Amino acid sequence: MELRDFGRLGRISALTLGGGGIAGVWGRTDRAEAIATVHAAVDAGVTMLDLAPSYGVDAESELAVGEALRQRPADHVLITSKVQLEVDGDDFAGRMRSSLRASLDRIGRDHLDLFLLHTQLQPVDGAQVPRNLRWRDYRDSVVPEFERLRDAGLIRAWGITAVGHPESTLAALREAPRPDAGQVVVNALDMAGDIFPWGDVPSANHEIRQVANDNGVAVIGIRAVAAGSLTSALDREVPPEHPAAVDFARAEPFRKLAAEMGETPAALAHRYALSVPGVATVVLGVKNRSELAECLAAEARGPLTDEEMRAIAG
């Protein structure tokens, strides 16, 4: 598998195995299949696993990976996990350390390679949005604690899920100390779905990716298949008005184009994300070895041509 530059953490695989799929977020799976999928990914050259306490019931992604790595240690594999910080309350540093300790206990390691803020940022001007972090709390409390955790050796790097309000997300990428990495929505139709609650505000994913590149922040591509909307069929039941269902209907021309190109929609979506300039790694939402194999084969076919990229972007 291709290796790409990932800033402070060196070089990592072009594909990262995400924790959501193996924890049942994107359709049913079980612990045994999740563990087998982790082992298959590592065997195929995947060198980073992207987890979170919120993936699955009772932090299932971390528990499954912890068990997988106890069965078959793989010290070279990097582990990412996350912390959610709601707007209400204080002692952000204490909550960050508590979340980190719990994650490390479940995974069975003494440090994380990358610790990500899993909470969206409110606008810099202070407009209040429920369940989103105030800009001043991010700058004055969260960033300094990330830096302290790195200095203490409990994490090697830190980052953000860069899908907050575009104004604050871009500011976070520009202002020092900057995150080492950012998770950015990267998919063929630029669909953010239900993770972008900012109404008529444009998502600015292309600008976010460019600003991250310009400031040395490694880009982790997420939502390559737009929460399932860029696949052959949604693998979970959602009402017609759900963003994933709306996006799935809107993506019908993409599925037709994939067929014309001799690709499955999921494979083409992953090849597109892998071909976008400035993306260090693409997170897979696969939940079993079969879906993993499809993505591995797509990566092995190499990048799309400029003409193919233009045809998809339409």
Helix axes 306-313, 252-260, angle to 10 degrees: 150
Distance separating alpha carbons of residues 229 and 302, to the nearest angstrom: 23
- For the chain, helix (H) and strand (E) counts, in that order, are 13, 10
* Per-residue model confidence as pLDDT tens for the chain (314 residues): 999 999 999 999 999 999 999 999 988 999 999 999 999 999 999 999 999 999 999 999 999 999 999 999 999 999 999 999 977 768 999 999 999 999 999 999 999 999 999 999 988 876 666 678 989 999 999 999 999 999 999 999 999 999 988 999 999 999 999 999 999 999 999 998 878 777 778 889 999 999 999 999 999 999 999 999 999 998 888 898 888 899 999 999 999 999 999 999 999 999 999 999 999 999 999 999 999 999 999 999 999 999 999 999 87
In CATH, what is the architecture of 3-313? Alpha-Beta Barrel (3.20)
CB 227 within 8 A of CB 193: yes
- Please report the pLDDT score of residue 179 as a whole number: 98
Angle at alpha carbon of residue 58, lines to 9 and 80, rounded to 5°: 5
CB 62 within 8 A of CB 81: yes
User: Structure pTM?
Assistant: 0.96
Structure-token pair, residue 257? 């184009």
The answer for residues whose C-beta is within 8 angstroms of residue 181's C-beta and 6 or more apart is 6, 7, 9, 114, 116, 157, 158, 159, 217, 218, 219, 220, 280
List the domain boundaries for the chain: 3-313
